[in-house]
Amino acid sequence: MIHEILKILDKNREFLREMGWIVSDPYSFEWWGGLKSADEIAISAFLVQMTKWETVVKVIENLRSKRLNYIDKIAEIPLSTLEEQIRSVNFYKTKARRLKNFSEIVSKNGGLSVFLSLEYRDRILEIEGIGEETADSLLLFANNQLIFPQSEYLRRVLSRVLNKSMSKKEAKNYVEANLEKDVFLYKFFHAGIVSVGKAYCYLNKPKCDKCILKPLCKNKYNETI
């Protein structure tokens, strides 16, 4: 089923672009909404929670213009300065504190290229503001580590397409067991599933008739899945 889903996603690359994903070189940072570096991906991962992506992009552009779009730089500046620069995002004070804490930890542990690795995953999960989905997304998209992010979108879409109730962890394991271990495929499948989840596969009243995965889906709307 994974490969059947991939074929449909491949035919709908423009849909993924419309949903904010840039299908690119396997190791490009631009997959993540067109951002330019691992630093910007890490920064945005904190800012985007409970905030529209469009707002986050404007904040990143502002940080970029002031050369504050680097984790090591954020580790150095006063918290008040960071708060002022990101104040247009929701809960900016909490996010500034969490982002600065993350930046200081990363800077003390060799930088993003070292810290965002599978061996540090448990340590990453100990940091305030980072759950499993965020951690795994950072590992994959900011440092090309072969780990598939678990998410509610993945759980919901696969549960319905397969007509089988799954936990987020089970859905993640299913993908990792059935998808070739390839950076491009991991990024592409994650982008596609998240896009389908956001555009069609709502928790309540999903848009099944419009969904691009409708030809494969074995489940008609079921609130228990």
* Same domain as 88, residue 132: yes
Q: Is residue 167 domain-shared with residue 127, that is, in the same domain?
A: no
pLDDT at 111: 93
Number of domains in the chain: 2
> Cα–Cα distance between 178 and 187 in angstroms, integer?
15
- Regarding whether 95 and 123 lie in a shared domain, the answer is yes
Closest CA to 149 of 117, 172, 179, 181: 172
- What are the φ/ψ torsions at residue 21 (nearest 5 degrees)? -100, 140
Q: Domain range for residue 34?
A: 29-143
Residues 139 and 33 in one domain: yes
Based on the fold, state whether residues 84 and 113 are members of the same structural domain. yes
Strand partners, 21: 32
Q: In tens digits, what is the pLDDT along the chain, a chain of 225 residues?
A: 999 999 999 999 999 999 999 999 999 999 999 999 999 999 999 999 888 999 999 999 999 999 999 999 999 999 999 999 999 999 999 999 999 999 999 999 999 999 999 999 999 999 999 999 999 999 999 999 999 999 999 999 999 999 999 999 999 999 999 999 999 999 999 999 999 999 999 998 999 999 999 999 987 655 556
Q: Do residues 97 and 136 both lie within one domain?
A: yes
Q: What is the CATH number of the domain that holds 75?
A: 1.10.340.30
Residue where a domain terminates, one of 143, 176, 193: 143
Instruction: Compute CA distances 45 → 64, 123, 163, whole Å.
Output: 16, 17, 31
Let me know whether 64 and 135 are in one domain. yes
Q: CA–CA separation, 192 vs 38, rounded Å?
A: 21
